[in-house]
Chains A and B, each alone.
Chain A
Amino acid sequence: MPHLTSDAVACCWIPLFALRCETARRPELASLPVALLSPDDTRVWQVVPLARRAGVKPGMTVSQAIGLCPTLKLCEPDPVHYAEQFSRLVAALVTVSPVIEPVELGRAYVGTDGLEGLYGSPQQIVEAIQMRSAECGMRNFSEGSFAPRPSHVHSALRIPHSALRVGWGRGKFVSWVAATRARPGAAVIVPPGEEAKFLASQRLAVLPLDPDTHRRLLQLGVKTLGALVALPEEAVVSQFGRLGRRLWRLAAGLVSEPVVGRVVPEPIVATLTFFTPVGERDLLAHALDKLVDRALANPRRSEWRVQVVRVRAELEHGASWLVAATLKDPSATRERIAAPLKTQLERSPPAGAVERLVVEFTAFAPGTTELQLFARDAGAAARAGRRHALQSAAREIALRIRRPMLYHVIEVQPWSRLPERRYALIDFEP
């Protein structure tokens, strides 16, 4: 799969993206204390500053939130709408640079290597990004909602009502930290060579830390990246191992991870419209299997394994439901692709009856040479049953090699520091 990379990076970040999507389409919410419920459970997911000031925090139950803020306006989530809005933002960014790496809802990295000839200086590249993304209409909640922060290096153009924050620097980490320091609608640019100086004053929380490591560092009196870098690298490594070395180097500005843009194959979509709205989970799970099968049989899928799959449903009364799964091991088998979706279907089912169900394969991994052995069988397997094809392939391998050579990898102590304790093989019997 061809990859495009770039060392110079602009991080585009819209905090509370889903909530902003709601306030953008329902302007009457703009002046109210609003909280958005999580798509996974019925807890509070995102909160506007006005409600936050009343004590409402993400993760609270609805009753806790209402108890703290009786005027709180709760919104049901609409993940399909948020995904569509984020796609619009990414599409706007693609008009500036072909190297785009979306990270999460509301955050994407833009590679800017080679754009100087088109736009000029980093300030002008950032202005181009701000202007194009402004067309997506993501507005700030209200002026003054966020306390202004000092910009340490250089701030470019400011678009007063935009919610987009941009950070520009060498590598993804520096640009991300710069974006977190930018004011809404503004940008912070870290010139090459000034990364260490810029990072030194930043708080420890900008590092990718687990809570335990964060706590341990604070107990050691390390509160900023500068304080971490002031310690000898070897001392940090002896305390925190390889993670310590990575953290120290990130804090010192020595790590520059490029943006990796991928030439994404077009998504494969399979759709089913029900004659009458369906609410039974068994029926939905069965429909899911059929749609995954249909999408797998698409000729564009051959030689690719599925890495990211989404299921969206259009519900009665105009609501929607969306679940997505990223497969740790990309797969071309129905069971493996459908399993995480069915788990989510059980855990957080649609809030109403489903009128239309859509399965989308949105990201792919190339099939390896070994998998092609099975992929040739897979065409026939779509007709005769994929499991049967796998069983016969496994039997043939056992016959040829005369001993079991197919294994499942199972987790034994995946947390162990001793590599040989983490996983084991068990005979694979399809």
Chain B
Amino acid sequence: MQNGSDRLRAVNVPQPAVVELDAHGSPTKIAMRNAECGMRNSDVREPVTIEAVRETWRIDDEWWREPITRTYYEVLLQGGARIVLFVDLVKQEWFVQKP
């Protein structure tokens, strides 16, 4: 969301993440920049175990132009951090995003 003069910046843009799934398709591990789970060394990607899925919800939007279909997961990471992930069901890609 940047205009010609780069004055307008989108907030809370989804950040790509690599996610491992269990047999039922639920996320079990996530690899992302450490900064996103509150750690230093922001370029290092290390898989972190997802201890629990607290909540899931689905968003279907903009079906009239370019459909956006996402399933969100609010998860608890090993160490206590709580983050929100979603899978883009159109492109089958995972992202981290604040709710």
Contacts and interface: CB of A to CB of B under 8 A. Distances in A.
A409 B7 contact: no
A409 B11 contact: yes
B8 A425 contact: yes
Interface string B64-91: 0000100000000000000000000000
B11 A423 contact: yes
B9 A425 contact: yes
B1 interface: yes
A419 B99 CA distance: 6
B11 A426 contact: no
Contacts of A412: 1
A242 B74 CA distance: 11
Interface string B1-26: 10000011111111000000000000
Contacts of B10: 420-421, 424-425
Interface in B1-60: 1, 7-14, 55, 57-59
A241 B8 contact: no
A427 B57 CA distance: 34
B50 to A, nearest CB: 19
Contact of A241 (B11, B14, B57, B98): B57
A417 B9 contact: no
Contact of A417 (B1, B7, B14, B61): B61
A424 B11 CA distance: 5
Contacts of B98: 419
Categorize the interface residue count of chain A: 20 to 34
A239 to B, nearest CB: 11
Contacts of B9: 407, 424-426
Contacts of B14: 420
A418 interface: yes
B1 A424 contact: yes
Nearest to A245: B55
A237 interface: yes
Contacts of B68: 418
A424 B1 CA distance: 8
27 contacts: A238-B58, A241-B57, A242-B55, A242-B57, A407-B9, A409-B11, A412-B1, A417-B59, A418-B61, A420-B1, A420-B10, A420-B11, A420-B12, A420-B97, A421-B1, A422-B11, A422-B12, A423-B12, A424-B1, A424-B8, A424-B9, A424-B10, A424-B11, A425-B9, A425-B10, A426-B7, A426-B9
Given A421-B1, A422-B12, A425-B11, 15 more contacts: A417-B59, A417-B61, A418-B61, A419-B12, A420-B12, A420-B14, A420-B97, A421-B10, A423-B12, A424-B9, A424-B10, A424-B11, A425-B9, A426-B7, A426-B8
Interchain residue pairs A-B with the least CB separation, the first 9: A425-B9, A423-B11, A419-B12, A424-B8, A420-B12, A241-B57, A417-B59, A420-B13, A424-B1
